Amino acid sequence: MRSDTLRVLLWQRALDPHIGRWSLPGGRLRADEDVETSIRRQLAEKVDIRELRHVEQLAVFSAPDRVPGPRVVATAFLGLVPSDADPVVPEDTAWHDVDALPRTAFDHEAIILRARDRLRSKLSYTNIGFALAPDAFTLSALRDIYSAALGHKVSATNLQRVLSRRGVLKPTGTTVPPGRSGGRPAALYTFTDTTMQVTDPFAVLRPPGAR
């Protein structure tokens, strides 16, 4: 993702069925590797994604008619890369805004939206934001990342209060220089843990005004 937009990496199919449509990267599991190893290998080999911060199984998609021809059952995974990642992708591959998807192949739009909803849910009650943020960030940058992922504006002050109370943020002791307009240098923060932890199982980050 960029800090202002939640995006998904898709590649454009060159063959039928659904030639020209956009689809999620995928591939086969080798006999000598587990699922996460396979995902990381294929993303690194095919689309230069090497900064995969978090991987988890999303769901099994098994509708009999999900693809034309022989039945294919797909196991989908949610993989997250930090907002400052800039991999070199092939010409037939591109990042797309999750809220403005192109025409996708098969049931891939449903898979993407399921992944979006899973991410939004976990941002509420876990520290999974570490997988989207750079190693060090200002609170305003982290606010923008959460706002993009959640689909609604988030207050930097409230976000700092919530995440600090949960013990998932810590200051680095450094700052970034002020911009051209001057002002105080912004403090840099980092996440205390880079593995996913449930921090508040009953929390929900709701849009402003929601009850």
Q: Which of 148, 26, 139 is nearest to 93 (CA)?
A: 26
The pLDDT assigned to 18 comes to: 96
The pLDDT assigned to 1 comes to: 55
Q: Which of 191, 90, 76 is nearest to 132 (CA)?
A: 191
Q: Which residue has the higher pLDDT, 208 or 51?
A: 51
In this prediction, residues 12-38 reach a mean pLDDT of 93
On the question of pLDDT at 58 being above 90, the answer is yes
User: How many CA within 13 A on the CB side of residue 60?
Assistant: 4
List, for residues 3-24, the tens digit of each pLDDT value: 589 999 999 999 999 999 999 9
The pLDDT assigned to 26 comes to: 87
C-alpha dihedral (43, 129, 22, 63), degrees to nearest 10: 100
List, for residues 66-101, the tens digit of each pLDDT value: 999 999 999 999 999 999 998 888 999 999 999 999
Mapping DSSP onto H, E and C, the string for the chain reads CECCECEEEEEECCCCCCCCCEECCCCCCCCCCCHHHHHHHHHHHHHCCCCCCEEEEEEEECCCCCCCCCCCCEEEEEEECCCCCCCCCCCCEEEEEHHHCCCECCCHHHHHHHHHHHHHHHHHHECHHHHCCCCCECHHHHHHHHHHHHCCCCCHHHHHHHHHHCCCEEEEEEEECCECCECCCEEEEEECCCCCCECCCCCCCCCCCCC
pLDDT bin (cut points 50, 70, 90) of residue 61 is: very high
pLDDT bin (cut points 50, 70, 90) of residue 182 is: low
In this prediction, residues 34-63 reach a mean pLDDT of 91
Beta-carbon contacts of residue 74 (< 8 Å; ≥ 6 apart):
26, 60, 61, 62, 66, 111
In this prediction, residues 100-117 reach a mean pLDDT of 97
The pLDDT assigned to 2 comes to: 57
In this prediction, residues 117-143 reach a mean pLDDT of 96
Report whether 85 contacts 136 (CB < 8 A): no
Q: For residues 203 and 207, what is the distance between their CA atoms, to the nearest angstrom?
A: 13
Task: Tell me which of 90-94, 106-110, 141-145, 198-202 is least confident.
Answer: 198-202
On the question of pLDDT at 171 being above 60, the answer is yes
On the question of pLDDT at 209 being above 80, the answer is no
Name the β-bridge partners of 75: 60
On the question of pLDDT at 198 being above 60, the answer is yes
Residue type, 188: L
Domains of the chain with CATH codes: 7-123 (3.90.79.10), 125-191 (1.10.10.10)
